[in-house]
Chain A
Amino acid sequence: MRRPPFLVVVLSLGATLFASLPIGYLAIRFIEGLDRALDEVFRLRTLELLGNTGLLVLSVSISAFVIGFSQAWLTTRSNIRFASVFAVLAALPLAIPSYVMALGYISVFPTFSGFFASWLVLTLATSPYVFLAVTASLVRVDTAGEEVARSLGFGRLSVLRKITWPQVAPAATASVLLVALYTLSEFGAIAILRYDTFTRAIFNAYRGSFDRTAAAALAIILLLITLLVIWLERRYRGANLLSSRALGKRVRVDLGRWSWVALPILVLVAALGVGLPIVSLTIWSIQGGSSINWGQLLEALWGSFSLAGLAGVIIGIFATAIALWAVRYRTKLGAFIETLAWATHALPAIVVGLALVFFGANITPWIYQTTWLLLIGYLILFLPNALAAISSPIARVPRSLEDLSQSLGTPANRTLFKIVLPIAMPGIIAGMALVSLTVLKELPATLLLRPTGVDTLATRLWTATETLSYSQAAPYAMLLIMLAGLPALALNAQARKAISEVREK
């Protein structure tokens, strides 16, 4: 069996160590108050939360998949009009923090709340993950196979199911997993829209009663649910297929009369996911008379920009190492490390934040309340976002090139840096961009772990909305969406680049 390069092992083990911190913290809190913790677990309410959470995760995962997949297929493979405009609109909600979207809906429809509201907002907020992942895979699908199948008399739907789907499945299921875990760990939007899930109950245990044992008990159940979801995804993921690299000439499916169904649906999704939140923010900025504090605004902009940039690059590097180990060397340990990285993704940010407060203040005080500990927090929270984006591109680098390089006597490390990484680089950069824009929107862990006195656009937005100063909040929200919009648009452009390359041929 081939052994992974030293650097890959070191980085992966480092990331694993960090990812296991929250789990260790939860174990300490759970065992410390074992009786109370068990009481908390075996309550009727736990069942109720289980039902609520399961319902929301399942429904958001399904709807985000259907919407994201349809958007991707329509904008890359059909002859729908304004395809590139719709592609941009499909990616944009990624730039809008889900709590901003929820506040936007609440301020237009004050009675908007409960399951349906949470489902809608989270679907809109997460479908871009599916859209981007599926788009990136779809443009690589070899259409020759589809044409052969068509000529053999298979209908469009069975071609989609039998030929196209297996080729996009790994990326698509990974993105759905991301959606499911996002929903499990979401707090802001869920709290605003008043739907009870495990994550909300965990936050409330801290907030209402400063009850760290009850919170830990609930968080451990959440962790078990996460493992179940990850196991399900593994079962149905399928193998990364190595498609032939030559991109054939692309035939766009003529929608015919169906475009009159597809077009309004795309417009509606864009209106709900991008239009309404932007309109809401515009109303905020018109109402009320807060003047903009430019000094604070610039400082927050710099804080967001520098943290998101740093986090993107660092987390991208760690994720690349883990993906290399898990996908290209396929050892049991590699797979375990990847699973562990995913497992902590569904933990609420407040749990990860408090775990790092506990270890940081008491064991490593020299990095406590510095940017480094905050970056470690982001690493634990968002490693999977990068893994989802980076795994497929790394898997797609043909093994034959690597074997060739090694048969010529090139050391493994050199092969890695000269052959594998350069080919996978667009995917790695996409992963970094995805992480950066997620970090931009993050709030609870940032509040707990930031160096004292450092502000980001998200923390400023929080300060303003807490005191109902929506006119003060508006510029921060706008700027946040614009800043997060840059990586979102870049991701979309990158995903679609292959299409234009084919057209130019």
Chain B
Amino acid sequence: MTQLFKKLRLKKTLAISVIALVGVSLSGCSPADQDLQDATLTIYSGRNENLVQQVLDDFTAETGIAVEVRYAGGAELAAQILEEGENSPADIFFSQDAGALGSLSKAGLLKAIPQELLDLVPSTYSAQDGNWVGISGRIRVLNYNPEKVTELPNSVFDLAGPKWQGRIGIAPTNASFQSFVTAMRVVEGEEKTLEWLKAMKTNAVLFEKNGAILEAVETGVVDAGLINHYYWYAKGKEVGMENMKSRITQFKDQDVGNLINVAGVGMVNDSASAKRFVEYLLSQSAQEYFASQTSEYPLIAGVPQVISLPALEEVPAPKIDLSDLDSLSETLDLIREAGLI
């Protein structure tokens, strides 16, 4: 038991030193921020701690607003906020994908983002109703093993051909795959989409998420896979870019396989500090962080991208408003009908 108490004391010491540190950093804040420092801002983050904790720390350092973060899967957090309803302790929902934000917006649990903040980001990357705003961009890419794939497909529809049988990895239960299929429905129609999905039933190996597909392409289990671009960069950072066996590429001519998507943020509570947080995520320094550290596309003007892919405006993606991708249940029906989930 004494051991227990010692550890408790250790914790207390830790807490005191943290408070002291925060106190020191407070001295460098602007006067406007000082009114916001009384309450703690509670953030539910579906984005991984390894990817965003630094930004949150920087936010506290700059504004003096203390932050409490709950990390979990984005969909789980959305479900959690849905269950909490009006009593949610969350101020902010920071989401990996637009779908989860859309579900909260539909349930009426998100507050309107101030217009001046919405204006910072091209309108296609935010909610039409102004209930959430995109923070960073990501694109769908073809991840492939250059030893096995010598002739690159022009379109994601080429993957439906017989020569791809058993060679391609997809993640039908994953949100980013599902928004891509939604886009395919919107652009190409239900019939063509169902046909493609049915071809995937024969051609594809199914995985749980993007990361697992990338691992499989790297280890030679499948020859290619459909993933979000930044997984490839993250893996490169972990093992060294020179050790990557796979490559990423894009399809040609506005192919729906190149869909642009965003990670975004919504306000569950429209307190001044919540607004300040959204403002911070759209600031120069936070956007530079996403460009360099998570290898994503910055969304505000004037911040250059770091990765060696085409600029967001030049990505040959279909021109779709992300708000049009909220017809998820129809997509799921199609994916189910094709027997993929």
Q: Which A residues form the contact surface with B (CB < 8 A)?
A: 45, 106-107, 110-111, 191-192, 194, 204, 206-212, 287-288, 290, 302, 306, 350, 354, 357-358, 361-362, 365, 368-369, 444, 447-448, 452-453, 459, 463-464, 466-472
Contacts and interface: CB of A to CB of B under 8 A. Distances in A.
Contacts of A191: 208
A207 B332 contact: no
Nearest to B72: A447
B88 A361 contact: yes
A468 B234 CA distance: 8
Contact of A288 (B4, B208, B238): B238
Interface string B71-92: 1110110111011110111000
Contacts of B72: 447-448
Q: Nearest 6 pairs between A and B by C-beta?
A: A361-B84, A207-B75, A210-B103, A358-B83, A447-B72, A110-B219
Contacts of A350: 76, 79
Given A212-B82, A369-B89, A447 B211 contact: no
Contact of B80 (A110, A306, A354, A467): A354
Contacts of B103: 210
Nearest to A295: B14
Given A194-B206, A209-B328, A210-B82, A469 B76 contact: no
A467 B73 contact: no
B127 interface: no
Contacts of A467: 48, 50-51, 211, 234
B133 to A, nearest CB: 20
Interface in B197-235: 206-208, 211-212, 214-216, 219-221, 231, 234-235
| Interface of chain B: mostly helix, strand, loop or mixed | helix
Contacts of A463: 48-50, 71
A448 B208 CA distance: 20
A192 B171 CA distance: 12
Nearest to B51: A467
A453 B87 contact: no
A207 B234 contact: no
B324 interface: no
Contact of B87 (A207, A211, A212, A362): A362
Contacts, number: 118
Interface of B: 4, 7, 11, 42, 48-51, 68-73, 75-76, 78-80, 82-85, 87-89, 100, 103, 173, 175, 178, 206-208, 211-212, 214-216, 219-221, 231, 234-235, 238-239, 328-329, 332, 336, 341
A468 B211 contact: yes
Given A208-B341, A350-B76, A447-B73, A357 B83 contact: yes
Contacts of A444: 76
A335 B175 CA distance: 44
A210 B329 CA distance: 10
Contacts of B75: 206-208, 210
A204 B328 CA distance: 13
Contacts of B235: 468
Nearest to B104: A210
A458 B275 CA distance: 33
Contact of A469 (B4, B50, B71, B88): B50
Given A207-B75, A302-B7, A466 B80 contact: no
Given A210-B103, A466-B211, A468-B234, 5 more contacts: A208-B175, A209-B328, A290-B238, A358-B84, A362-B85
Contacts of A302: 7, 11
Contacts of B4: 306
Of B72, B221, B239, B341, chain A has the most CB atoms within 10 Å of the CB of B72
B212 to A, nearest CB: 8
Contact of B173 (A208, A369, A452, A453): A208
23 contacts: A110-B215, A110-B216, A194-B208, A204-B173, A206-B75, A206-B76, A207-B75, A208-B332, A210-B79, A288-B238, A288-B239, A306-B7, A354-B79, A361-B85, A362-B87, A452-B42, A452-B89, A453-B68, A466-B50, A467-B50, A468-B234, A468-B238, A470-B238
